[in-house]
Structure 1
């Protein structure tokens, strides 16, 4: 029987501690887990900081060792803590995640979870479409397109470099918009009046070169999640071809899949998909 499934009856005298009380119907280990989780997520315990020792937590919360270990075990399984043998328990760098089952902008997705986001425009320029960009945007090779490069920030830390290509008429209007504070998807829909349809995604991995390392504040050679995304309007025309480079130490994608292929297709169609 799992310890986390069956509350341990802790008879150790408790000391008053914000958020933890024996008057609550919730088990003590769960209250301590929730309190420590809150301290990690709001920054009172910072990434890679050593957590108080088991003895210190026992004294802090006035509980037994097994109760503390239950709480720490849950947080370790959540990925919020990691242990270093002989040295103690440390705070992991939490990874933010984005669901892929719906087509939405980064700021839109993160805003729902209460995160602060903004962008730094690295460059915006007009250039001739190479064969790959032209193929995806369904344009003749050499057609003038607009390239926009932005570093995306999450809670004031750089999280990704986005390199986006647009047909010339769309891109020129985006360049005049507020790219620092608004999602391109939101601008396309609300400012340009272009309804979004679906997107095709490919996800891979790469190592940060010196440019990515500098922009994302990671070491050269650090792991990077790389997404290639082609977004279509509701009319089926491609409007946005881009490369998204996310710090693998701070970001992950999530997607629920079913065993049944038909159900998978129905649940994960993007808005605007045509059956």
Structure 2
């Protein structure tokens, strides 16, 4: 089957689309799904690259010999999948592929970005010291009256905002961070190499949230857009908490990935089958 670019040029669409699905020995799909799958394949195989403009609705109508509503249904599905976005008056464009970080091991943002060959940068939004909320004090096991240093950072991947990070540290440790290069170094790196401590483990909770006005502004998304909230309490080699983090990742630009092993009922967790 010719790709969409070729179909736009030749004007031959529906007959080739039908024959392609017939040759594949698949159950015939509604026309809008056939158009969707044809466009989807070309996005995924790189025929249309990130931020490249797709043909107009009229060009697709002519290329596939279908109605406007068929094209719009196909594009609506692709937009829901996060593969395309629309700009009023300009057209439909391919989105950037989502960044995927491996969560099977404990890494900082910069380390995770380097693992997938991406460029990471951090904008330090604010650093403050004061009394923590009850929740923060509980996470860090701080005695009453103890202070914490709070860091707010905007994390960029390939020069686009990907995550907003709110981190709390006991004030003694937090003061060590103030003089460090927080734009280009992870806190884990500073903890281990400047402070001589070991980042050993973390307790992690993940949930979906909607961006409020402030978070949406930082992440450059619409208010009420989906975000991934990662609550992480980081421990040293003795099991003592040293950092309490709340990380908010853009839902349209990010996903987590991990490899897991099956453990049968009654099988000890240390045994792999």
Aligned length: 210
Question: Which deviations, in whole Å up to 9, do the C-alpha atoms of 1:36-62 show, x marking residues without a partner?
Answer: 52862xxxx416x316978xx9xxxxx
Question: Which deviations, in whole Å up to 9, do the C-alpha atoms of 1:114-147 show, x marking residues without a partner?
Answer: 2111101111010102211111111123311110
Q: Contact conserved, 1:258 with 1:264, CA < 8 A, in 2? A: no
In terms of mean alpha carbon deviation, does 159-168 or 249-258 score higher?
Answer: 249-258
Name the TM-score, length of structure 1 as normaliser.
Answer: 0.67
Residue 222 (structure 1) aligns with: 225
In terms of mean alpha carbon deviation, does 125-134 or 146-155 score higher?
Answer: 125-134
SS of 2:138 mapped into structure 1: helix
Residue 51 (structure 2) aligns with: 46
Question: Which deviations, in whole Å up to 9, do the C-alpha atoms of 1:86-137 show, x marking residues without a partner?
Answer: xx99523311011110001111111122211110111101010221111111
RMSD: 3.3
Report the alpha carbon displacement of residue 83 of structure 1 after superposing the two structures with TM: 11
For 1:91, which of 91, 94, 114 is the aligned residue?
A: 94
Q: Give the Cα separation in 2 of the matches to 1:223 and 1:138.
A: 31
Name the TM-score, length of structure 2 as normaliser.
Answer: 0.67
Q: Contact conserved, 2:124 with 2:182, CA < 8 A, in 1? A: yes
Mark the runs of 5 or more structure 2 residues left unpaired by the alignment: 2-40, 64-77
Task: For 1:5-44, list aligned pairs within 5 A.
Answer: 36-37=45-46, 40=49
SS of 2:200 mapped into structure 1: strand
Mark the runs of 5 or more structure 1 residues left unpaired by the alignment: 4-31, 58-75, 269-275
The runs of at least 4 consecutive aligned structure 1 residues that moved more than 6 Å come to 32-35
Q: Give the Cα separation in 2 of the matches to 1:154 and 1:266.
A: 36
Residue 242 (structure 2) aligns with: 239
Compared CA separation, residues 212 and 100, structure 1 to 2 (3 A): same
Q: Contact conserved, 1:136 with 1:241, CA < 8 A, in 2? A: yes
Residue 14 (structure 2) aligns with: none
